[in-house]
Chain A
Amino acid sequence: MDLTFSKDEVEFRDELREWLAENSPGEEPRGDEDAIFAFRTGWQRSLYDSGWAAVHWPQEYGGRDATLMESAIFFEEMGRAGAPLPANVLGLLLAGPTIMAWGTPEQKDRYLTPILSAEEIWCQGFSEPEAGSDLAAVKTRAVRDGDDWVVTGQKVWTSGAQFSKWCMLVARTDPEASKHKGLSYFLMDMEQEAVQVRPLVQITGEAEFNELFIEEARIPHENMLGEEGNGWIVALTTLMNERSGLGFFLQVRLRQLLDKLVAEAVANGSIDDPVIGQSLGDMLERTETLRLTAYRGLSTITKYGQPGPEGSLTKWLWSETNQMMTQLAVDIVGPQALHKDNPWAYELLRARGNSIEGGTTEILKNIIAERVMGLPRK
């Protein structure tokens, strides 16, 4: 067991730190979606120009062939430096790796570079009004018409759709086949009249996500990813990548928030209240448990080629902890934490999404019980 970074890992980290010190992204604007997006696009450009946009991608596609551990270090350092997420985070983390796994050589040539450079932004069109947790129940229909597929249906909660050129779209191509077998995975061009994006305002007041109304959109057959009828398996590749290095970014951000909260409690004296002291101790325990369990999970995958039981736990632990911690902030900071412009107010509200986005906590527990622990399905 060695919980220090290796020489290579330290070199990687130091090189990145040096770069970050010279290329600080500055303060992200607040509140204005378009301004935030522009800021994040600028940031990704700057990462791209220096070869940092996607360290976990293979070199042949413009990445650095980073190991899982280096990729974790990358996201930790980004979090530590207070850097924003890159504009095309879904492209870099989800679409890119899915295309690398399933794409034809032509598809890889066509799509990967503009993902890296943030020239083409991606969104994930999986969820529908009647297919959320039960993702395989998607109803959006794709019907073959010559060289095209004609797609009609509705998607919902599509983050970043308003800025996206492309959509990872799961649609039903064979209504006769069983639920999981009738799906196919498409790369859909968002720039067509037949695709309408309508923003959905979240409880925070912003609109990160949207509804997509798709009315006979056309997708050339060459934009199918994987085989016809294989969409569920391809979608699983996307879902498996959902939290990969990003977890380390979130984990560091959580710790930074906690450090702020401890500082606040020290400053206003509430740290001496034993109840607050206990709650902070709980948060410190959870935050460190999260960090160490995430590292342990990476070591398991690196060494044995497959995740251990600990790998399935971190998203749940993170979302729960972030929610508890932002709630604790209300006790420590006081009612002004609930004033609209107080940063804690935003954190408190945004945290409610954590246990829903990317698979709800209930679904994660089902997966842990049935797939990790082998309990019987009903």
Chain B
Amino acid sequence: MEFDFTEDQHEIKRTAKDLLGKRSTVERVRSAAEAATYEESLWTELVELGWPGVAISEEHGGGGLGVLELATLLEESGYALANSPLLATAACGLAIQEAGSDEQKDEWLPKLASGEITGSFGIEGQTFPDAPDSDVIVVISEDGATGTVVATGDADVVEDVTIDPTRRYGTVGLGEGGDALPGDASAALALAAVITSAELVGVCTRALEMTVEYVKDRKQFGHPVGSFQAVQHRAAQMLLHTEGARSVTYYAAWAADADRTLLAEASALAKSSASKAGVEVTASAIQAHGGIGFTWEANVHWFYKRAQLDAAYLGGTKTHRARLTAIAAAASGSR
């Protein structure tokens, strides 16, 4: 057993982190968010690097790598809070690759992989990341049983203004349009939940890092506030949430590539844990920053807001815990 990335995977992750560290600084995230736009040049660059198609097969013009590699990119994208349709496009591509017919794959995957178009993915009637400006959307039925691929123009898309201005959102209904996905919609949903969890792990990692830096520096009562035990124990709890979510998210991404029998449970595990971590860690980050943490001017709120939207996306902790219980109850009955 080796519960660590390979050298290649580490390299992908490092390179992604370096690039986003330069190209998606928090100042740029802020100015894009405040202008309610994306910086086109960032997306162009990610497309040139092949990020949207990294887990799409080479046959369909993608990188032919796994969900795990894609997850490392999303983690770094969450860490940088990059303003881009990466999560939505990657989830859409994974879904079509997973559950689409040959014709559907031929039609959509090469364009999604090459970045010629962007996609979106979600559960019917809920909030979809990046739906309004996308070209194609995969819509999963409320019960998770069936999926439909639809050109965005043929779907019923209403733009949502959410609390998270770092990303664009829309509510999607199917209307008359669309083409049923013949394959396993629940697996498509599981894959999207895994990569969303990866983004949340990145958000948590960054919020925690910012907090540790801040409390080392900020002095009250003549001491750094990070020397007070209540603050220290809060930080320790943030680490437990973050590292726990990391363990189960990597496990789920690995299961997606290596052992599909584990995927349903692993993805529920990842999404319940990462949603909890995202919400708790970013809320704690605000608290540990004090008054400044409550201002628009400080940057922690961007992470809190993204975490809220990611946590709710495809169902949050409660939904996925219920799923874990149902899986365990079924296994218990069969023993």
Q: Which residues of A contact B (CB under 8 A)?
A: 1-6, 9, 69, 259, 262-263, 265-266, 271, 274, 277-278, 280-282, 284-285, 288-289, 292-293, 295-296, 298-300, 303, 309-310, 313, 316-317, 362, 364-366, 368-370, 372-378
Contact = CB atoms under 8 A, between A and B. Distances in A.
A123 B9 CA distance: 46
A266 B224 CA distance: 51
B83 to A, nearest CB: 29
Contacts of A298: 3
Contacts of B255: 3
Given A1-B9, A3-B1, A266-B333, A373 B239 contact: yes
Given A289-B273, A296-B247, A366-B229, A280 B328 contact: yes
Q: Which residue among B228, B243, B250, B259 has the maximum number of chain A CB atoms within 10 Å of its CB?
A: B243
Contact of A281 (B9, B223, B235, B322): B322
Contact of B227 (A4, A263, A313, A375): A375
Given A4-B1, A313-B239, A263 B332 contact: yes
Contact of A289 (B1, B235, B247, B258): B247
A378 B215 CA distance: 13
Nearest to A367: B236
A376 B9 CA distance: 34
B68 interface: yes
Instruction: Classify the interface of chain A: helix, strand, loop or mixed.
Output: helix
A9 B332 contact: no
A285 B273 contact: yes
B284 to A, nearest CB: 13
Contacts of B216: 374-376
A372 B212 contact: no
A204 B174 CA distance: 60
A304 to B, nearest CB: 9
A278 B326 CA distance: 10
B324 interface: yes
A345 B335 CA distance: 25
A1 B322 contact: no
Instruction: Classify the interface of chain B: helix, strand, loop or mixed.
Output: helix
A156 to B, nearest CB: 25
B154 to A, nearest CB: 37
A285 B269 contact: yes
A300 B269 CA distance: 22
B173 interface: no
A316 B212 contact: no
A293 B247 contact: yes
A41 to B, nearest CB: 33
Contacts of A374: 212, 216
B2 interface: yes
Contacts of A310: 243, 246-247
Given A266-B332, A365-B233, A370-B232, A309 B2 contact: no
Contact of B251 (A5, A271, A277, A292): A292
Contacts of A295: 1, 3, 247
A277 B248 contact: no
Nearest to A320: B240
B332 A284 contact: no
Contact of A284 (B3, B229, B231, B324): B324
Contacts of A259: 328, 332
18 contacts: A259-B328, A277-B321, A278-B318, A278-B322, A281-B272, A281-B325, A284-B269, A285-B324, A289-B245, A289-B247, A295-B3, A313-B239, A313-B244, A364-B236, A365-B233, A373-B236, A376-B216, A376-B223
B320 interface: yes
Given A2-B258, A366-B229, 6 more contacts: A1-B6, A278-B325, A281-B272, A285-B321, A310-B243, A370-B232
A364 B321 CA distance: 28
Nearest to B226: A375
A271 B138 CA distance: 33
A284 B227 contact: no
A281 B237 CA distance: 20
Contact of B239 (A274, A366, A372): A372
B79 interface: no
Nearest to A295: B3
Nearest to B320: A281
